[in-house]
Amino acid sequence: MALNELRQKISSQTVTVGVIGLGYVGLPLSLTFLRKGIKVLGFDLDPEKIRKISQGQSYIGHLPAAEVAEQVARGRFAATADFARLAEVDVLLICVPTPLTRNREPDLQYVEATARAIAATLRPGQLVVLESTTYPGTTVEVVQPVLEAGGLKAEVDFGLAFSPEREDPGNSKFATANIPKVVGGVGSVSTALAESFYALALERVVTVSCTQAAEMTKLLENIFRSVNIALVNELKILCQRMGINIWEVIAAASTKPFGFMPFYPGPGLGGHCIPIDPFYLTSKAREYDIPTKFIELAGEVNTAMPYYVVQRVMEALNSRGKALKGARVLILGVAYKRDVDDSRESPSFKLMELLEEKGAEVRYNDPHIPRLRPVRRYSFALESFPLTVGNLSAMDCVLVVTDHSAYDYGFIWSHARLIVDTRNVFAGIAGAEAKVVMA
């Protein structure tokens, strides 16, 4: 009976959504439903996020504050740290972090804590969907037992599903609404509920047979990228030794109209997915006595990239009679990808750590990140260093890590003494090789 009422609410678009975790996944997802006139109550433990939303502000660069302010003013959007209010909403979307421990094991503390919070207020007629990336089996092995401990049963009293987030910050072509949404429930009832719910705001919903298939889908997507990036990173090192330009090779290979997809080398992996998600599967695979050799080797190659880049910086300085110890190194870009203000898992932090360990004096510039805030494992008390003629010429080395479109590379090349380029951004500048070393 209660689930029938939920179906009717979804059908009539009178459903109320609760989004738990208002970060780079939760806030865009909230706005996607708000644009369709669906009321959203956000939950987060960060008082700063709650304050900013309440004041109609956005704390994510590519999400307009005006839209947040409009939805708040119209009474459709609110945010709270009071998890007792979870009972007020009809659909609960879990968008909390799933990091790794220092030993690269899955850290589900946020998922588990959220499940317990939901269980404390869970009522018949609610739908719970886990969106946080995790290993196959998490929904039914970790979340479901917690939710059912109070006597309510999935598929009978409430719905339970998994639907992996597919967020790409800064992508002008694809956003939450037009990225196909994969959904798998713990049973046919939950799958149908989740499918009809997401169809309210998303253009296409793709159902799979179970939560485990949906969980594995997300991991496959990111492992595919991790393995291919590792391959091209390894080839980059080989090509450098052989005197071959890997970027030229990739461009030439990309002319093949079938059987090839270009991936590009870099200074290391960043973001909330690719550096982390593959290890969720390697951990689970050990329960089945299956070695995940490709995944683990790719992780090793990608993790080694910052060390390779620092070695290239050292070689570049040495070739000019300068030691890395005491050298002034300016890192361009601490965001994990171009034109975003997201620094999660950015390789820039590892590069800073390695350079400082070797005695370098490190500064950074990023037009999207004016100052560094503490992140997992790293805490640098630095502010963005202005790109003036005097500042650039005073640096012993400029290290390009993130290729923001706001950078004037001609200006940088003109005034820097030495440049180590991990993104091939100086390829179009005549005579660039006089100052530029590829890494």
Q: Where are the alpha helices (DSSP H) in 263-340?
A: 277-285, 293-318
For residue 168, the tally of other CB atoms under 10 A from its CB is 17
Rounded CA-CA distance 368/336 in Å is 11
* Whether the Cβ atoms of residue 348 and residue 364 lie closer than 8 Å to each other: yes
Backbone phi and psi for residue 91, each to the nearest 5 degrees, phi listed first: -125, 130
Known catalytic residues are 273
Rounded CA-CA distance 312/422 in Å is 10
Cα distances (angstroms) measured from residue 318 to each of 25, 239, 314, 323, 437: 44, 21, 6, 6, 12
Rounded CA-CA distance 262/169 in Å is 20
If we measure between CA atoms, which residue out of 204, 51, 6 comes closest to residue 42? 51
DSSP states of 5-60: HHHHHHHTT---EEEE--STTHHHHHHHHHTTT--EEEE-S-HHHHHHHHTT---S
Side-by-side strand order, sheet with 397-400: 361-365, 328-332, 397-400, 419-421, 436-438
Rounded CA-CA distance 352/372 in Å is 12
> 438 in helix, strand or coil?
strand
* Whether the Cβ atoms of residue 178 and residue 72 lie closer than 8 Å to each other: no
Q: Is 12 left (phi over 0), alpha (psi -120 to 50) or beta?
A: alpha
β-sheet bridge partners, residue 100: 106
Give the largest CA-CA distance in the chain: 78
β-sheet bridge partners, residue 162: 130, 184
